[in-house]
Amino acid sequence: MRKHRAKIILIVGAVLLSLYLLYPTYQDYEYQQTLNQLSEEDSLAFIEEHEASIRDARARRIKLGLDLQGGMRVVLEVNVLKLIEDLAKNKDATFDEILTAVKGEAQRSEESPVLILRRSFEEHQIRMSRYYGSLRDDNDRIFAFLEDESQKAIDRGMEIVRNRVDQYGVSEPSIQKLGANRIIVELPGVTKEAEVRRLLQGTARLEFKLLKEPELVYRVMDAIDKAVVELTTDSTDTSLVASLPDDTTAIDTPEGELTPEEFAKKHPFFSVALINPDQFPGDAVVAEENKDKIRRMLEREEVQRVTPNDFQFVWSAKPKVFDDTRYFMLYAVKRTPELTGGVIVNARAQIDPSFNQPIVTMEMNSEGAREWARITGANVNKRIAIVLDNAVFSDPVVRNKIIGGNSQIEGLDDLDEARLLEIVLKAGALPAPVEIIEQRSVGPSLGEDSIRSGLFSAGLATLLTILFMVFYYRAGGMVADLALVFCLLFLLAVLAAFQGTLTLPGIAGIILTLAIAVDANVLIYERVREEIATGKTLRAAIDAGYDKAFSAIFDTNLTTFITGVILYQFGTGPVQGFALTLMIGIASSMFSAVFITRVIFNILADKYTTGIQFG
Amino acid sequence: MRILGKTTINFMATRRSWYIVSAVVILAGLVSLFMKGVNYGIDFLGGTELVVRFDQAVDIGKVRSAMTGVGFESAEIKTFGSDRDILIRTPSIETEEGVAVGDILQQGLRDSFSGNQFTVQKEDKIGPKIGAELRRDAIYAVAASLIAIWLYIGFRFRFVYGIGAVAALFHDVLITLGIISIFDGVAGLNLEISQNMIAAFLTLVGLSVNDSVVIFDRIRENQKIFKTMNLADLMNKSINEMLSRTIITSGTIFIVLMVLMIFGGEVNRGFAFTLLIGIITGTYSSVYTASAVALDWTLRGKAQGRMVK
């Protein structure tokens, strides 16, 4: 025994350390069990009493992946190109053309969009200073400026996403940056998809915009109508030809004798964008099915040519329902906002007591309040649209000058929507829009099923392996089984220590580790049998078996380890969980199946010089 | 206890016939790959995938008409484990108005199955860009592991053994891929190519090379002892000596994987099936591909008068 003392201390130490590392996982499980049995009141009291220790156990337990505990994973991509587009000045057709090409390339390429933009400009031999910075700036300088701006937008975007998630109230969310312009958000236990989407994706760009005078709006719409007529008669392009609205009564038709078909042909715009100067002065009403058509018309170059520069059409955020048909309002506003959401310092969702409707009230900082007072004072009896992410939520008429910097957003569906809006307004606007490019969610019941089937198959596989080893190798098998148990213990402890995440493929990795650990012992024992067959003493045979089997064990484990490393590099989420358990498993199986079993055999061989059976 | 005693099978003598067997199986797989292909999951194609669990069993036909009702007549619909669990998949993730497809699909189910409540088990949405990236990463991963293993074996043993091991890997990957293509569509196997499947293939690569390495290790050892023995005899001797180990280890892994396939849940089923095929071909190829190719390569080198030992 004495000569093995250092090794024994090492093994016992490793086991004790593993147990210590795994204790929080056990503790957390116990707490969950207790909490599940208690009634609601009792459990609250229990949580209060043990708060620190519960939190501590939760922080240090083995983390379960979203596939096991349920939840959502969202990958966001910051739309840097939109930011670049917004930053440009003197935009013209050439710029739009280049940008469209760059957008297409960025869809396919891994390169930074700013780099693609620069290359594209250089290919066209256009100096970037035409659109950015001052005329004297060279491309390098502007490139650096744009890179810096997009980097800032991504960092700020990440911070805002974090703020929003924090305020939304999820336990243990994870927010990480991925590559150049992506953000991974993991929300355990959350499955309300629509809500999360709105929470993360809304840029929350709040703008207060003046509506245009009705007479001017009608003049512009008239010009647009004429422009579209020309377009449809000039070309064979039928995409703009209006289909007839179901309900044409709202149209104020001066040529009342026309049949609907003739009217649609003569006034393609007005036949779908209905106007009603008495009820909605200056606005158009568009049935939901015609929204895209109007959008396409407004995007046409010929139409934009007849639209004044500071003129902008925006849609209402929510449809209105008349006679079972959903209609969107089309508002004409001044392009430059009077005020933006940057001045908002606080927001609160509440029910408007007078109308019993959900609203969000906002407070502005002193500078914003001053501006707001000036704007409202100068525009009494005019309408100001409250625009959030390019959709109009309300268009109140200013009754008198508003002092104190208060405003509110109306027209929300329910209090939940109001709360989300409160969060995004408080967290601030995203500097550039973000797009959800990947979203995965797992319901809690599927997670429970996965845990159950994962644990059951792991347990059964372990049991079968253990039985087989004892059956086949007798005493040797028992030692190998002991090593197997140690191997699992070390694997889980290392997982807990490194804050690794256990996923369902991760459990498959553990099961595979069992086989790898057993293989090491099989290699050794088969060798020991061979050595015994050549007439060696038990002691010598064991030594020779271990020594000669080692190179094969080492090489096989290393090749599997290499594939594990590669898998970890290229995989995501659950697959990384598999690679992780596989790598840890290989390392711990080397320790337990090779090192620990040898120490045990050395001790046993000292005591029983002939008695150990290798089957 | 002993499954096998001492054996003296002349493996290398029959290697040419086994080349033909391998070639036939690979060819059958390739034909299936070209005719039928494999079933890519949404990880690689992009799209929306929804798995719901109903309170009572539902009829697939009725789910299909519900999907047609909301404008997704081309949606792929199948059961996922039991007839209460339904998987629905469409290629797009958003409609033109920016409404998530998943919401529309759920609305369609709610409308058609008002008396039969369901819960969403899983919902994945993968954008086309991510799909393309995952496809590329998967190819990189497999290529990188093949190169890494070739380099490692070439460095630890001899160059020819690296060739043999990599030939065996190609053999195993091709056969497994072919068999997956042939078995695709068998109810309950869930053999679509997903990220998990790539993990299975890489693990297969790791395990397959294990068997080859163990045999190469013994050949290397025997070469030092029996310096005058010719390579074919040396290989036969080494393979026979390791045969008992090979069968026990492969057998244990086989049992473990069977457990995982039967009880490991829907997600792990295709993964375990792939590895099961991989273990069978991996064990076979360590003898009839890895060693055999190394032998033939060496013999050819000698015939050409090059000094390749």
What ranges do the domains of chain B cover?
12-41+131-303, 47-125
CA-nearest of A239, A248, A250, A160 to A205 is A160
pLDDT exceeds cutoff 70 at A249: no
pLDDT exceeds cutoff 90 at A115: no
**Residue A463 CB neighbours (<10 A):** 11
Find out whether B14 and B163 touch, Cβ atoms under 8 Å.
no
d(CA B272, CA B256): 9
Output the six-digit token pair for A357.
Answer: 């409707």
Give mean pLDDT, residues A20-31: 91
pLDDT exceeds cutoff 60 at A246: no
8 Å CB contact of A457 and B125: no
Find out whether B54 and B83 touch, Cβ atoms under 8 Å.
no
Nearest CA in chain B to A583: B203
Domain count, chain A: 3
Q: Are residues A145 and A263 in the same domain?
A: no
Q: Are residues A286 and A167 in the same domain?
A: no
Share of chain B above pLDDT 90, in %: 34
Identify which of A471, A473, A555 has the shortest CB distance to residue B156. Answer: A555
d(CA A325, CA A287): 7
The top-scoring range by mean pLDDT among A170-174, A276-280, B117-121 is B117-121
Residue that finishes a domain, picked among A425, A441, A457:
A441
pLDDT exceeds cutoff 50 at A244: no
Instruction: Specify if A29 maps to a domain.
Output: no
Helices (H), chain B: 15-35, 42-45, 60-69, 101-112, 128-156, 159-183, 195-225, 231-263, 266-285, 292-303
pLDDT computed for residue A351 by the predictor: 87
Nearest CA in chain A to B255: A461
**Residue B221 CB neighbours (<10 A):** 15
Instruction: Specify if A419 maps to a domain.
Output: no
Find out whether A505 and A578 touch, Cβ atoms under 8 Å.
yes
Tell me phi and psi for residue A137, to 5 degrees. Answer: -65, 135
Q: Are residues A291 and A252 in the same domain?
A: yes
Q: Are residues A493 and A565 in the same domain?
A: yes
Q: Are residues A157 and A298 in the same domain?
A: no
Q: Are residues A283 and A390 in the same domain?
A: yes
Q: Are residues A477 and A537 in the same domain?
A: yes
Instruction: Specify if A17 maps to a domain.
Output: no
Give the pLDDT band (50/70/90) at residue A611: low
Q: Angle at CA A20, nearest 5°, toward A17 and A26? A: 140
Give mean pLDDT, residues A404-431: 80
B214-257 per-position pLDDT tens digit: 999 999 999 999 999 999 999 999 999 999 899 999 999 999 89
Output the six-digit token pair for B62.
Answer: 């009725």
Instruction: Specify if A87 maps to a domain.
Output: yes
A41-100 per-position pLDDT tens digit: 888 888 888 888 888 888 888 888 888 888 999 998 888 888 888 788 777 778 888 888
Give mean pLDDT, residues A220-233: 83
Nearest CA in chain A to B122: A442
Q: Are residues A467 and A578 in the same domain?
A: yes
8 Å CB contact of B265 and A504: yes
pLDDT computed for residue A400 by the predictor: 82
Identify which of B119, B213, B245 has the shortest CB distance to residue A555. Answer: B213
Q: Which fold has domain B12-41+131-303?
A: Multidrug efflux transporter AcrB transmembrane fold (1.20.1640)
Give Cβ neighbours of residue A612 (< 8 Å, ≥ 6 apart).
Answer: A475, A476, A538, A542, A601, A604, A605
Give mean pLDDT, residues A591-597: 93
8 Å CB contact of B119 and A578: no
Give the pLDDT band (50/70/90) at residue A240: low
Which residues of chain B neighbour A579 with C-beta distances below 8 Å?
A: 199
Give mean pLDDT, residues A416-438: 81
Instruction: Specify if A543 maps to a domain.
Output: yes
Nearest CA in chain B to A519: B249
d(CA B162, CA B152): 8
Range of the domain at A225: 206-408
Residue that finishes a domain, picked among A441, A460, A492:
A441
d(CA A296, CA A275): 19
Is pLDDT larger for residue B304 or for residue A16? Answer: A16
pLDDT exceeds cutoff 80 at B95: no
Whole-Å CA distances, A557 to A291, A581, A586, A587, B83: 62, 14, 6, 8, 42
Mutation site, A470, A570, A582, interface B, largest B CB count within 10 A = A570
Q: ipTM value of the model?
A: 0.87
d(CA A312, CA A211): 9
How confident is the prediction for chain B on average, in pLDDT? 87
Pick the CATH number of B47-125 from 2.160.10.10, 3.40.50.720, 3.30.70.3400, 3.40.50.300: 3.30.70.3400
Q: Are residues A178 and A293 in the same domain?
A: no
CA-nearest of B101, B260, B254, B83 to A455 is B260
Residue A523 distance to chain B (closest CA, Å): 6
Give the pLDDT band (50/70/90) at residue A610: low
Output the six-digit token pair for B68.
Answer: 């047609």
Instruction: Specify if A399 maps to a domain.
Output: yes
Residue A37 distance to chain B (closest CA, Å): 25
pLDDT computed for residue A245 by the predictor: 46
- Full-model pTM: 0.77
Question: In chain A, how many H helices and how many E strands?
Answer: 21, 18
Which residues of chain A neighbour B265 with C-beta distances below 8 Å?
A: 449-450, 453-454, 457, 504
Instruction: Specify if A508 maps to a domain.
Output: yes
Identify which of A107, A454, A566 has the shortest CB distance to residue B129. Answer: A107
Instruction: Specify if A13 maps to a domain.
Output: no
Nearest CA in chain B to A290: B97
Give the pLDDT band (50/70/90) at residue A581: very high
Give mean pLDDT, residues A305-326: 85
